[in-house]
Amino acid sequence: MILIPAIDIIDGKCVRLTKGDYSTRKVYNEDPLEVAMQFQDAGLTHLHLVDLDGAKASHIVNWKVLEKIAARTKLHIDFGGGLKSDKDLQIAFNSGAEKITGGSIAVKSPDVFKQWIKDYGTERIILGADVKEEKISITGWTEDTDTYVCDFLNDYRSSSGIEYVICTDIAKDGMLEGPSMELYSKILSEIPSLKLIASGGVSSVSDLEQLKEKGLFAAIIGKAIYEGKISLGELAKMVSA
């Protein structure tokens, strides 16, 4: 299982939110590059970079941060947040993103998102599935839908061959109470071929070990690192094991 540390960006700074609420933001470092280099020094190879300003503005904002991290590290970066147009996508890829993540656009403009998959391939496009009580939630978690997550993923798997999915249980995000094990088990039992990436709630090495046992392709770790619940030393040991 790949371990993917997360950096969320507001005003060019490294922050974390709780349940996606911007009013809960906490700045952990003024320099995201410094944080990314610490991850790389610990032996981590991937990075989940989220442009929270972009998510709010519905277009890419913090591409300079992406560009700087991509130029100064060897991390494999997946980038998301506010990517709504072909131009946004080109800026993200030109700035050094290896993959991009699309969530709300996959619900609101499926034809556009499916065209991105066709143009760039399933290796470079990740489907973001934000979930509230097993149903898809969009627009920064402010809009609920009636679409069940497994139906949503099955549709993209069958119609576009999507491979990578980041699934976030909103109720778990930033809470440090453990990830949504039952949700991930259900998804993998229905669609075992997915490269499912867990996001939200990871609070300990034990959580990561359980996700690995369940067959998750990767796990994103955010607040647990910044709040000292999981040390970079512990992650380094897992990577080298």
pLDDT digits (tens, 9 = 90+) for 120-135: 999 999 999 999 999 9
**In total, how many domains does the chain have?**
1
Of 94, 93, 172, 162, the residue nearest 133 (C-alpha): 172
Residue 136, beta-bridge partner list:
131
Catalytic residue at 11?
no
Q: What CATH number is given to the structural domain containing 236?
A: 3.20.20.70
Q: What is the pLDDT of residue 18?
A: 83
Rounded to the nearest integer, the mean pLDDT of the chain is: 95
Residue 139 has pLDDT above 80, yes or no: no
In Å, how far are 33, 42, 80, 168, 237 from 129, measured between CA atoms? 27, 29, 12, 6, 30
Stated pTM of the model: 0.95
Residue-wise pLDDT for 9-68, tens only, equals 999 999 998 878 889 999 999 999 999 999 999 999 999 999 999 988 999 999 999 999
Annotation says 8 is catalytic: yes
DSSP conformational letter for 39: H
Structural domain of residue 183, as residue ranges?
2-240
Which of 88, 130, 173, 207 is catalytic? The answer is 130
